Amino acid sequence: MVTALVLASGLLAPSPGAGAAPLETAKAARPAVIEKRVIGESVRGRPIVAWHLGEPDVEDVPTVVLISTMHGNEPATRRILETLRDGAPLHGIDVWVVPTYNPDGLVRGSRKNARGVDLNRNFPYGWKDLDGNYESGPEPASEPETRAMMGFLRDVRPERVLSFHQPLLGVDTATKRPAFARLVARKLDLPRRTLDCGGVCHGTMTGWFNHGFQGNALTVEYGASPSRKRMTKIAPDQVLSVFGAYRGPQSLEPARG
């Protein structure tokens, strides 16, 4: 598993003769980004990238992880995370965003990874040998994408994880913190519902995290075809509002003298 950590100052190199320092160039391109971390690789060797945003050094701000495109045929919600990554700096939150967790599946337009495994049935907790649309792999954590996410979450240990999916349209309230689920549903303007996967919720990422960590992981489902406006203009600020966070320009140092 690749564990390279790249500081934001190295995201982009200045063009020859530009005269701009790397940090200035990177900040101009993505001012919200603090760090870029390659947490692992897919079966086909594509990087799985987590972007660190917000204010990790501010006391009492929540540590959050946002994950999208666990299933490659559910691509719309990654725009929420990309908008947060590519926009203004975030305040009142310490957040990592993983816009594309299953890059091979995204390229193929497939729910599964390149070995035909549903990553949301491959986590160790409650794993069962499933076939068909929910193929769970030959054994728990058999897939490099699964192991990458497990290692990343063990390292970050967030207080909250939101895992974005499609197309069931709702926030799962049958979870570890029902009050938090109700808050998320209200803030995101989504219905509350029980997401039982038709009885095959085995080996899920949220189940594994909720069993082994103090924090809370929650599934958020948008519809089959949410509008681009909702994903890029409305939902990003709604997601931040769940945690009392907001987007805005970097604060300026107070004038001296």
Summarised one tens digit per residue, pLDDT across range 183-201 is 999 999 999 999 877 777 8
Domains and CATH numbers, the chain: 52-245 (3.40.630.10)
Residue 122 dihedral angles phi and psi, to the nearest 5°: -110, 0
Which residues on neighbouring strands pair with residue 53, listed in sequence order?
Answer: 33, 95
pLDDT at res. 250: 60
Instruction: Compute the CA torsion angle 159, 163, 164, 165 (nearest 10 deg).
Output: -160
Distance CA 4, CA 66 (A): 20
Distance CA 133, CA 131 (A): 7
Helix axes 235-242, 178-188, angle to 10 degrees: 150
Whole-model pTM: value is 0.87
pLDDT at res. 66: 98
Q: 3-state class of 208 per DSSP?
A: helix
Give the number of other CB atoms < 10 A from CB of residue 31: 16
pLDDT at res. 200: 76
pLDDT at res. 195: 85
pLDDT at res. 199: 75
Number of helices (H) and strands (E) in the chain: give both, helices first: 8, 11
pLDDT at res. 197: 78
User: The tokens of 39 are what?
Assistant: 């947490």
Distance CA 105, CA 211 (A): 27
pLDDT at res. 28: 65
Mean pLDDT per 10-residue section of the chain, whose length is 257 residues? 35 37 59 97 98 96 98 98 98 98 98 98 96 96 98 98 97 93 98 84 95 97 98 98 91 39
